Amino acid sequence: MMLVTLSCSLALCLVYVFYKFIDQRRSKSCYILHYECFKPSNDRKLSTEFSVDLINKCKNLGIEEHRFLLRTLVSSGIGEETYAPRNILSKGDTLASLSDCQSEMDEFSIETLDTLFSLSGVSPQDIDILVVNVSGMTLVPSLTSRIINHYKMRDDIKSFNISGMGCSASLISINLVQNMFKIHKNKLALVLTSEAIAPNWYNGKERSMILTNCLFRCGGCSILLTNKPALQKLAMFKLKCLVRTHLGSCDEAHICCMQKEDDQGHIGFFLGKTLPKTATRGLTENLRSIAPKILPLSAIFRYVLLVNIQKFRAKYLHNMAKKRVNMNFKSGVDHFCLHPGGKAVIEGVKRSLVLTEEDVEPSRMTLHRFGNTSASGLWYVLGYMEAKMRLKKGDRVLMIGFGSGFKCNSCMWEVLRNLDDKNVWADCVDKFPPKLPIYPASRNMNGF
C-alpha cells in the first residue's frame, strides 16, 4: 500500500513539474494581438511638385545642391502620396516649434491607439507595459507620460521611453517587451514606434545631410502584445526568436549614420559613404546568428558543406575562382519584411539573401507609398503583406531592420491564423504594384 502511495505521489509530482514547465514556456511567449499603422490626413500629403517648390524656395542651396536634390527625388523610389509635418506644408516653415513637435506625435499616438483599443476590445487601464520609441525628439514630461495622462492609465504601469536608436528601434522595443514577459506573467504591452520629422528637417546644404529631407516621411505604428495563454487564440503572430547586432565598437560603423552639426551650425542627420558597407557587415553578422534558429538543418549542412568544398579546392586544387556560396534562407522563411530605408537598402538585402522581386515587393511598395518612416516602416511592410492576403496560418515572416550606431536587428514571426485585413492600405492596395511608376519631378528638372 505504501509503495502504491509513493508511486502515485511521484507520478503527481512529475505531472506537476511537467505542467509548470509547459506553463512557464507558454507564459514567456510573446504574441501580437493587433497592430495599427498611422495614416495621416490627406492635407499632409507631400507631392513631388511641392517638394521641388520647397527646394527652389530654400535660400541656402546653390545650383549644384538643387541639381543633386532633384536627381535624388527622381530616383528615390518615393511616390506622390507620402506625408510630411504640418509646419512644412501649411507654413513652409522648416524650423519647427515645440508645439509643432508635440502635435505631430500626439496626432499619431492618439489616432492609432484609439483605433487599436476599439478593434481589440482592450481598455487603456488593462495595459501593464508601455514602450515608446522616437529617436529624434525628447520631451519633458516624456511621450510615455503624455500617453499615460491622456488615457488615464494605471499608476503601476511600467513605462519605457526610448530615444536615439534610429530606424532599428522598433525591434529593440519588441525585445524589451519580450524580456519583460519572461519576468511577468499574464501581461498586456503596448509598443509605439515612430519618428519626429518636424524637428529634424535639415536647413543646410551638405549633401550627406540633405538626403534625409528626400527620404524620411511621417508615419508610426502602435502594437498590442501579450503573453497571456488565454489570448493565444486571438493572436495574429507569435515571436519565435529575435537577434540584435551592434557594431558600435567600430569607429567607421559608429559614425556612418549620425546626428551632427554642419559648418554653418545647421543640425541634421549625416549619411556617410561607408553606410552601405557597414549595413552589409551588420546584416552578415546578424544573419550568422539567427540562421541556426530559423533554418532547417539540411540548409545549414548544405551551406557548411559547400563552403568547405570551396576551401578544399582553393587549398589543394589551386582553384582560385571563388564562387559565392549563399545560404538558402527561403528554406526557412516564407516572407521577408525588410526595412524600406531606400532603394539601395532594399536592393542590397535582396542581393545578399538572393531574393526575387516578389520577395522585396512589399518593401518597395511601402517606400513608394509611405516613404522611409524610420522604425515604423517594417509594420507598413507587414501591413502590405496582410492586405494582399499573403499571410497564411503557419507562415514564417523574417523582419530585418537597420539603425544608426550601427545596428542590425532581425526577428522571426509565426503567423497564427489567415490574415486579410486591408488596414492602412485599404484605399490603395489594389493599385500596387504599379505597372509604370511615374515621378512628376522629372518634368520639373528644367535643364538640371
Q: Which CATH number fits domain 27-295+332-444: 1.10.510.10, 2.60.40.4070, 1.10.10.10, 3.40.47.10?
A: 3.40.47.10
CA-based radius of gyration for the chain: 24
State phi, psi for 335 to the nearest 5 degrees.
-140, 140
Q: Which of 34, 87, 175, 246 is catalytic?
A: 246
Angle at 394 between CA 421 and CA 423, to 5 degrees: 10
- Written as one string, the DSSP assignment of 311-373 is HHHHHHS----PPPP---GGGT-SEEEE--S-HHHHHHHHHHHT--HHHHHHHHHHHHHH-B-
Task: Read off the C-alpha cell for 386.
Answer: 496582410
Query: What's the gap between Cα 32 and its chain centre?
Result: 15
Is the alpha carbon torsion for 22, 24, 26, 28 positive or negative? negative
Could you give the 3-state DSSP secondary structure of residue 391? coil
**pLDDT tens profile 192-245:** 999 999 888 888 888 888 888 888 999 999 999 999 999 999 999 999 999 999
Task: Judge whether 409 counts as a catalytic residue.
Answer: no
User: Mean pLDDT over residues 371-392, rounded?
Assistant: 98
Q: Are strands 129-134 and 188-194 parallel, antiparallel or unpaired?
A: parallel
Beta bridge partners of 224: 34, 190
Percent of the chain surpassing pLDDT 70: 88
Per the CB < 8 A criterion, the answer to whether 343 and 402 are in contact is: no
pLDDT of residue 20: 45
Catalytic site residue from 227, 335, 408, 444 = 335
Select which of 218, 368, 409, 444 is catalytic. 368
Dist CA 44 CA 84 (whole Å): 6
Report whether pLDDT(425) > 90.
Answer: yes
What is the SS3 assignment for 169?
Answer: helix
The domain locations on the chain are: 27-295+332-444
Q: Catalytic: which of 87, 161, 372, 444? A: 372
- 99 Cβ contact list (under 8 Å, min separation 6): none
Q: Could you give the CA distance from residue 256 to residue 270 in angstroms, rounded to a whole number?
A: 7
Can 34 be counted among the known catalytic residues?
Answer: no
Residue with cell 516602416: 377
339 is catalytic: yes
Residue 26 clears pLDDT 90, i.e. is over it: no
Rounded distance between C-alpha atoms, residue 46 and residue 83, angstroms: 5
Which residue out of 339, 409, 423, 444 is catalytically annotated?
A: 339
CB-CB contact of 169 with 405 (8 Å): no
Element (H or E) spanning 162, and its range?
strand 158-162
The pLDDT tens digits for 276-307 are 899 999 999 999 999 999 999 999 999 888 88
- pLDDT one-digit tens code per residue, 312-356: 777 776 665 567 778 899 999 999 999 999 999 999 999 999 999
pLDDT for the residue numbered 203: 82
Query: Given this model, what pLDDT does residue 3 score?
Result: 58
Whether 66 is catalytic: no
Which pLDDT tens digit goes with each residue over 59-113?
677 777 777 777 888 888 898 899 999 988 876 656 788 999 999 999 999 999 9
Percent of the chain having pLDDT more than 90?
A: 64
CA geometry: angle 393, 233, 128, nearest 5 deg: 120
Does the annotation mark 250 as catalytic? no
